[in-house]
Amino acid sequence: MEQVQWADRGRLLQPVPAGAETRVEPMGLSRMGAAQPSPGLFSFWIQLRGSSWIEAREGRFRLRAGEWIVLERDSRAQLQADRRGVCVGLAVGTAVLAQLVRGGAAPLHVGQGRMSRGDLRTVVRLWRRVAAAPVADPAVLRPLLAHMAALQAELAECLPRCPGRSRGRKQQVFSRLQRARLYLEGNRDRVVRIAELAELTSFSSWYFSKTFHQVYGESPQESSARLRLEYAAELLRETDMMIGEVAAACGFDNPCSFARAFRTRHGSSASAYRAAMRAGQAMADQEPPYRKAA
């Protein structure tokens, strides 16, 4: 196993092309550091502080403190931490993963999510054990992968709804659907065509749409619209962009259609939503310290 590699203060960790199937690469980046996992490695990343940006085949993602993301081995991910960001990750070869699964480890699913502070402390402790190990010891890797799999319990509940007679076939279908779902999450700034998602999963457009709705309870179009409107709310909370600029940044060509969709989703106009969020933040900032501590 490679010793832990760390990119700090603008340093870039370059990928290593050889021996991908048996490699285990613990990595970390901080303070504008950047990293690229070696080609052919399945990877997951956990944000400890600040935020990091990820450019991958599935799109563009912002990872905030307490959030995680799992990427496929051909995602071609590039990560960069912000000025306060600290992010750790692990890239694992397919042969190593297969050995762990044969030994009873639960497989990880492509996707992203958030963990509690307690889970974050546990994951960091387990990651440090892996980083300190001189070789890729399954006994050391398994607890970390098991804890990450436990964080994906909600995703695992979707697996039985996948078509297929065997668990292996269901797993294959689900991994493709999760790739498409992550693609929608990474492209919240535009309307994603069904044909793009079908090509990504190697399914027909009809089969993809039918199976996606069967597994997740909403159509790909509904999922895309929901994610774009959630992104709009995020921009309204965190930026000073004008309402029309927010609409365009979320893939809405018509401000009127954006206004109707936003009100339907969030129960108020975009301007009223922004005013309410800022008023709530102002009240929180004015609370006495002892009330905040309570």
Q: Are residues 24 and 152 in the same domain?
A: yes
The last residue of a domain, from among 103, 132, 157 = 157
**The one-letter amino acid at 200:** L
Q: Are residues 134 and 241 in the same domain?
A: no
| CATH code for the domain of 173 | 1.10.10.60
- Report the candidate in 90, 70, 125 with the shortest Cα–Cα distance to residue 1: 90
* Residue 139 C-alpha from the chain's centroid: 26
Q: Are residues 141 and 17 in the same domain?
A: yes
Helix residue spans in the chain (DSSP H): 94-102, 117-132, 138-151, 153-156, 167-185, 194-201, 205-216, 220-238, 243-249, 255-266, 270-286, 289-293
Q: Are residues 203 and 181 in the same domain?
A: yes
Q: Are residues 241 and 101 in the same domain?
A: no
User: Given the DSSP bridges, would you call strands 67-71 and 42-49 parallel, antiparallel or unpaired?
Assistant: antiparallel
pTM score: 0.92
Cα–Cα dist 33/4, whole Å:
14
Q: Are residues 105 and 237 in the same domain?
A: no
Residue 286 domain flag: no
Orientation angle between helical segments 220-238 and 205-216, nearest 10 degrees: 60
Residue 288 domain flag: no
Cα–Cα dist 258/266, whole Å:
12
Residues 20-68: pLDDT tens digits?
788 888 999 999 999 998 888 999 999 999 999 999 999 999 999 999 9
43 φ, ψ to 5°? -135, 155
Answer yes or no: are the C-beta atoms of 9 and 32 closer than 8 Å: yes
Cα–Cα dist 173/262, whole Å:
33
Residue 16 domain flag: yes
Return the pLDDT at 109: 94
Count the domains in the chain: 2
Q: Are residues 19 and 149 in the same domain?
A: yes
Q: Are residues 80 and 181 in the same domain?
A: no
User: Given the DSSP bridges, would you call strands 24-30 and 5-8 parallel, antiparallel or unpaired?
Assistant: parallel
pLDDT by residue for the chain (294 residues), tens digit each? 667 889 999 999 887 766 678 888 899 999 999 999 888 899 999 999 999 999 999 999 999 999 999 999 999 999 999 999 999 999 999 888 888 888 888 889 999 999 999 999 999 999 999 999 887 788 899 999 999 999 999 999 999 999 999 999 999 999 999 999 999 999 999 999 999 999 999 999 999 999 999 999 999 999 999 999 999 999 999 999 999 999 999 999 999 999 999 999 999 999 999 999 988 876 676 666 555 443
Residue 113 domain flag: yes
Answer yes or no: are the C-beta atoms of 214 and 158 closer than 8 Å: no
Return the pLDDT at 293: 43
